[in-house]
């Protein structure tokens, strides 16, 4: 459980702190949605 929370916190921090733009944000969001909907998680 700690690993999931850490990964989410890292992702949020990256998105908020990065200057990669909207395209990178969309990629990260899509990856997070795929991760969340994965039955193994």
3-34 pLDDT, tens digit per residue, is: 888 888 888 878 777 666 777 778 889 998 99
pLDDT at 33 (0 to 100): 92
Q: 18 φ, ψ to 5°?
A: -80, 155
Distance (Å, whole) CA 33 – CA 39: 12
Structure tokens at 33: 């949605």
pTM, two decimal places: 0.47
Beta strands in 1-41 (DSSP E): none
The terminus-to-terminus CA distance of the chain in angstroms comes to 10
- Is residue 18 within 8 Å of 26, Cβ to Cβ? no
Residue 41: the pLDDT is 73
Other Cβ atoms less than 10 A from the Cβ of 34: the count is 10
């Amino acid at each position: 459980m700690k690993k999931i929370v850490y990964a989410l916190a890292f992702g949020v921090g990256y998105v908020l702190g990065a200057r990669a733009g909207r395209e990178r944000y969309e990629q990260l969001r899509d990856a997070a949605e795929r991760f969340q909907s994965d039955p193994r998680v």
